[in-house]
Structure 1
Amino acid sequence: MFEGPRKRVLIVEDEAMISMLIEDMVLDFGCEIVGPAARLDRALTFALQEDIDIGLLDINVDGSVVFPVADVLRFRGIPFIFSTGYDFRALPERFHGCPTLSKPFSYENFADTLRMALASASNASEAV
């Protein structure tokens, strides 16, 4: 689905069934999985230490918000996509305009959002 080397996708999701579905989709796209992380501390470790091309971040992970992980990824210049079953319009101002998937999302919607986020990041890095 994507050109060049295999993309590494950080998955942060605390619902096991949803995580497995996302993992299947990511593998279908020819990407590698980093994680998955079902807790904030594990997600932060991955975000700080792993080679990642993009993150897929459930906003509410085991009762904690995932925003510190998003902050780390942003600092590292790594794009991310939020996913949530809640109202994504309640995102903190610093994350307005970030790609967000509303659960449940379709395979096609996920693929399109992933493709656009990676293309956006690629275009931004080429402009630098």
Structure 2
Amino acid sequence: MRVLLVEDNFIIALDLAGLVREAGAEPVGPVASVRDAIAALGDASIEAVILDINLGEENALALVDDLRQRSIPFAFATGYSPDDVLPPECADVPVLAKPYSAVEVRALLDVLRRHREAGGDRTAP
């Protein structure tokens, strides 16, 4: 599975890329802005996305509608409480809490794989 990483902190992005690779997926990127993420999504081989919510002065929530229209499963990565930063319409989106472990990244990728196999349906078991 090819996973686009949208993360503006280069050290965190490198760590996440390594954990994604160790979990058997192929990291794409990282990209650090909404504009670069949209450009990367033009590659039809992107199968899932992990989004840092805050990208400098930007907010990755701007990508949600685009990802849903493309039926690309995605998850947020954040150090904040999801209740504090996610709007109600994102309550169904998986969240990877920072700091995260290899086990948590592997579990998240399993969820994204299941969502992908179900056609991007977030309610898939």
Aligned ranges for residues 69-80 of structure 1 at < 5 Å?
69-80=63-74
Whether 1:35 and 2:29 are equivalent positions in the alignment is yes
Alignment of 1:1-128 (within 5 A): 7-47=1-41, 49-50=42-43, 51-90=45-84, 91-124=86-119
Give the aligned residue type for 2:13: S
Tell me the TM-score normalized by structure 1. Answer: 0.85
Q: What stretches of structure 1 of length at least 5 have no aligned partner?
A: 1-6
What TM-score, normalized by structure 2, do the two folds share?
0.87
Runs of 5+ consecutive residues of structure 2 not aligned to the other structure = none
* Equivalent residues, number: 120
Distance 1:115 1:60, change over 3 A: same
Distance 1:75 1:111, change over 3 A: same
Computed over aligned residues only, the root mean square deviation of the Cα atoms, in angstroms, reads 1.9
Q: How far off its partner does 1:67 sit?
A: 1.2
SS in 2 for 1:97: coil
Deviations 1:4-27 (A, max 9, x none): xxx110000011110000111111
Q: SS at the partner of 1:18?
A: helix
> Once the 2 structures are TM-superposed, how far is the Cα of residue 124 of structure 1 from its aligned partner?
4.3
Q: What is the alpha-carbon distance in structure 1 between the residues aligned to residue 68 and residue 91 of structure 2?
A: 13
Give the percent of matched residue pairs that are identical in Structure 1 and Structure 2: 33
Secondary structure of the equivalent of 1:56? strand
Q: Counterparts of 1:31 and 1:114 in 2: how far apart (Å)?
A: 8
Q: Give CA deviations for 1:74-101 in whole Å, capped at 9, x if unaligned.
A: 1100000101011211311211121001
Once residues 11 and 40 of structure 1 are traced to their aligned partners in structure 2, the CA distance between those partners, rounded to angstroms, is 11
